Chain A
Amino acid sequence: MSSQLAFSMTETETSTTKRRVSPLGWLAVLLGAALMGYLIYYNIAHLHEGHAGGAHHEAPPLWGIGILPFIALLGCIAILPLLPATHHWWESNLNRLGVALACGGAALVYYFFAEGPQQILPVLNHAVPAEYVPFIVLLFSLYVISGGICLKGDLAAHPSTNTAFLAFGALIASFIGTTGASMLLIRPLLQTNSERKHVVHTVVFFIFLVSNIGGCLLPIGDPPLFLGYLRGVAFFWTFHLVVEWAICCGVLLVIYFLLDTWFYRREKPRDIRRDETEKRPLRVTGGINILWLAGIVACVATISHEKEFLGTGWTPFPFLREVLMLGFVGISLLTTPKGAREDNQFNYAAILEVAALFIGIFIAMQVPIDVLRVYGPNLGLTQPWHFFWATGSLSSFLDNAPTYVVFFETAASFEETRLPETVIREPLLVGISLGAVFMGAMTYIGNGPNFMVKAIAEQSGVRMPSFFGYMFKYSIPMLVPVFVVITMIFLTGGNAAHEPSAAGGETHAAHVESTSAPATPAVHDEPAAPGH
Chain B
Amino acid sequence: MVRRILVALSGTPYTPVAIRQAIELAQRHDASVTGVTIVDLPALSDVGPIPIGGSAAAHSLAEHRMQITQERVEEEIANFEKACRNASISYAVDRESGDPFDLLLELWRYHDLTIIGLRGLFEYGVVHHPDDEIIRLIAHGVRPIIAVSHEHRPINRVLIACNGSPESAMAMKRFAQTRLWPDVTVKIACFGFEDDEALPLLTNAATYLRAHGYEPEAESLPSYPKEGLLKHCREWRADLVVLGASSRGRIMRLVMGETALEALIHADVPLFLSQ
Give the B-binding residues of A (Cβ under 8 A): 1-6, 8-13, 77-78, 81-82, 84, 87, 90-91, 347, 349-351, 353-354, 357-358, 399, 443-448, 450-452, 455-456, 458-459, 463, 466-467
Contacts and interface: CB of A to CB of B under 8 A. Distances in A.
A350 B63 contact: no
A5 B53 contact: yes
A445 B61 contact: no
B53 A448 contact: yes
Given A81-B55, A90-B55, A353-B55, A451 B50 contact: yes
Contacts of B49: 78, 81-82, 443-445, 467
Given A350-B57, A452-B54, A444 B64 contact: no
Given A87-B45, A455-B61, A10 B56 contact: yes
B82 interface: no
Given A8-B56, A13-B56, A87-B45, A399 B51 contact: yes
B128 interface: yes
A6 B57 contact: yes
Interface in B6-43: 42
Contacts of A6: 53-54, 56-57, 60
Contacts of A78: 49
Contacts of B55: 4, 81, 90-91, 349-350, 353
Given A2-B52, A81-B55, 13 more contacts: A8-B56, A11-B63, A90-B55, A347-B56, A353-B53, A357-B52, A445-B49, A452-B54, A452-B57, A455-B54, A455-B61, A456-B57, A463-B128
Contact of B51 (A8, A349, A444, A459): A444
A12 B59 contact: yes
A78 B58 CA distance: 14
A8 B42 CA distance: 22
Contacts of B103: none
B47 interface: yes
A77 B52 contact: yes
Interface string B111-149: 000000000000001001000000000000000000000
A90 B45 CA distance: 14
B56 A350 contact: yes
Contacts of B64: 458-459
A458 B64 CA distance: 9
Contacts of A11: 63
Given A466-B48, A466-B128, A467-B48, A448 B54 contact: yes
Nearest to A447: B51
A399 B52 contact: yes
Given A87-B45, A466-B128, A451 B51 contact: yes
| Max chain A Cβ within 10 angstroms of own Cβ: one of B42, B47, B48 | B48
B59 A13 contact: yes
A450 B51 contact: yes
Nearest to A468: B48
Given A78-B49, A455-B47, A467-B49, A445 B63 contact: no
A86 to B, nearest CB: 12
B59 A2 contact: no
Nearest to B61: A455
B197 to A, nearest CB: 42
A459 B60 contact: yes
B51 A2 contact: yes
23 contacts: A1-B52, A2-B51, A2-B53, A4-B53, A4-B57, A5-B53, A6-B54, A8-B57, A10-B59, A81-B50, A81-B58, A84-B42, A347-B56, A350-B54, A353-B52, A353-B54, A357-B52, A399-B51, A399-B52, A451-B54, A455-B54, A467-B48, A467-B49
For the complex of A and B, the 7 pairs showing the least CB-CB separation, nearest first, are A4-B53, A6-B57, A2-B52, A349-B56, A4-B54, A8-B60, A455-B57
Interface in B189-242: none
A445 B58 CA distance: 12
Nearest to A401: B52
Contacts of B128: 463, 466
A354 B52 CA distance: 6
A9 B59 CA distance: 9
Contacts of B48: 444, 466-467
Nearest to A90: B55
B143 to A, nearest CB: 29
A181 B133 CA distance: 40
A347 B64 CA distance: 17
A4 B61 CA distance: 14
Contacts of B51: 1-2, 4, 399, 444-448, 450-451
B259 to A, nearest CB: 24
A138 B48 CA distance: 28
Nearest to B65: A458
B59 A445 contact: no
B56 A451 contact: no
B61 to A, nearest CB: 4
A354 B53 contact: yes
A390 B54 CA distance: 24
A81 B59 CA distance: 11
A11 B60 CA distance: 8
Contact of A350 (B42, B47, B53, B61): B53
B58 A455 contact: yes
| Max chain B Cβ within 10 angstroms of own Cβ: one of A10, A358, A467 | A10
Contacts of B63: 10-11
B58 A451 contact: yes
A4 B49 CA distance: 13
| Max chain A Cβ within 10 angstroms of own Cβ: one of B45, B53, B55, B56 | B53
Interface in B55-87: 55-61, 63-65
| Max chain B Cβ within 10 angstroms of own Cβ: one of A3, A90, A447, A459 | A459
B52 A91 contact: no
Contacts of B61: 455, 458-459
A87 B55 CA distance: 10
B155 to A, nearest CB: 32
Contacts of A467: 48-49
A84 B55 CA distance: 15
Contacts of B45: 87
A499 to B, nearest CB: 35
